Amino acid sequence: MGEQLEKTPLNKVHHELKARMMDFAGWDLPVWYTSILEEHKTVRSAAGIFDVSDMGRVWVSGKKAGVFLDRVLTRRVSKLEIGLSELCLLCLEDGGVLDDLWAYRLTADRYLIVWNAAHIEEKLAWLRRWAGSDPDIVIQDRSAATAMVAVQGPAVCRLQNLKGVCQLPRFGHSQTTIENMEVFASRTGYTGEDGFEIIAEVANARQLWESFTKQGVKPCGLGARDSLRLEAGMMLCGQDMDKTTNPFEADLGWLVEIDSGDFVGKSALLEIKRRGIRRKLVGFRMTGQGQGIARSGYKIARSGREVGQVTSGGYAPTLNANIGFGYVPIELARIGTKIDIMIRNKPVPAEVVHKQFYKRGG
């Protein structure tokens, strides 16, 4: 292990901080620096910083950029206000989910998309296939030329170097400067807290990182990234949904603007909607305390019969409970339904609950 893994521009910083590293989608990334629980709690109570450079950053520009994105995404991003962003899906023709991504409208004819680290080549090829050789659609993958950090937590707007962007609305974005570095900042994140995601040129990665850590912002790894998003009810593509899942069963129907325009996957999705779904992704909370943690891949059972599978699961530090997501038959998807999670061949009771386990200020 080690040689073949990709390294983000902050890789050296993580090793200097003696982070516990792991292979995540082919990247050498930190799981934790001091402790997942500590990092998780810091983001819920103060501020933490994550290296999210593994995610892909692709600029789409040209006179037909909006028309093109409207066609390949499940939402009409050309209707998005300049300066705002939204979560969208990239669906295959059969309605399967290739990825979820954030689309930012930068100018009338220029957009940025940020997507997950996995299957970047496949996704780029997919975009290029639909763009064809149209000179009015320019797709530029600048992932390797840039670094990206997420600064998350209720204290972010007390940080000196974020003063300039704290007037941004939720999902808003702008170019700004931090310590004389030109960066792109958006009020987005994957933790359920207030926060920003910031993109800088590779050469500025370390200075950007340290501009936060020297103010006491705590470095946080993938472990906390996972437990925070799980508590906040946010899904991870490739784990909670993928090419074999449609958006409706993944409870992502709200990201599909089915009644507007024509887009890749629309006819399949209309048909799926007409027929109705048979299974659904739900949130669950273990009611059998002290009997183990549900983890991805564990079976879900009901009255001794296997009915589904856990896709994400873990310990929720803020709730002090064991929680997860999983697919169950539609008739078992109602809030309050009792199910069992099979942990080491023993059924451990759980209950279907609202997927957003944690709500800021709630």
Partner 1 sequence: MTPKDYKFTSEHEWIYAESGSKGKVGLADYAQSKLGDIVFLDLPTPGTQVTQGKKMGEVESVKAVSDIFSPASGKVLEVNQTVVAEPKLVNEDPYGAGWLVRVELSKPSELNKLMDNARYDEFVAELTEKQSE
> What DSSP designation does 171 have?
T
In the complex with partner 1, which residue's Cβ is closer, 56 or 317? 317
- Residue 196 or 284: the one with the smaller Cβ distance to partner 1 is 284
Give the rounded distance of the alpha carbon of 295 from its chain centre. 18
Cβ atoms of 89 and 247 closer than 8 Å: yes
Give the separation between CA 67 and CA 356, rounded to whole angstroms. Answer: 33
How many other β-carbons are positioned within 10 Å of the β-carbon of residue 302?
17
Measured from the CB atom, is 56 or 219 closer to partner 1?
219
Q: Which of 215, 291 has the CB closer to partner 1?
A: 291
- Report the nearest approach of partner 1 to the CB of residue 35 (Å): 5
Residues 6+ apart with CB under 8 A from 74: 88, 89, 90, 91, 247, 255, 256, 257, 263, 265, 269
- Of 31 and 124, which has the nearer Cβ to partner 1? 31
**Least CB distance to partner 1 at residue 310 (A):** 13
| Residue whose tokens read 């390797």 | 144
Nearer to partner 1, 32 or 212 (CB): 32
Shortest Å distance, C-beta 86 to partner 1 = 31
The residue behind tokens 């048979």 is 278
Find the shortest distance in angstroms from Cβ 192 to partner 1.
17
Structural Rg of the chain based on CA atoms: 21
How near is the Cβ of 118 to partner 1 at its closest, in Å?
A: 19
Nearer to partner 1, 41 or 110 (CB): 41
Least Cβ distance, residue 344 to partner 1 (angstroms):
7
Give the residues lining the site for partner 1 (CB under 8 A). 20, 31-32, 35-37, 223, 227, 290, 292-293, 295, 314-315, 317, 344
71 vs 66: CA distance, rounded Å? 9
Residue 65 tokens read as 């950029």
What is the nearest approach in angstroms of partner 1 to the Cβ of residue 12?
Answer: 15
Could you tell me which residues come within 8 angstroms of residue 92 by beta carbon, excluding any fewer than 6 positions away?
98, 243, 264, 265
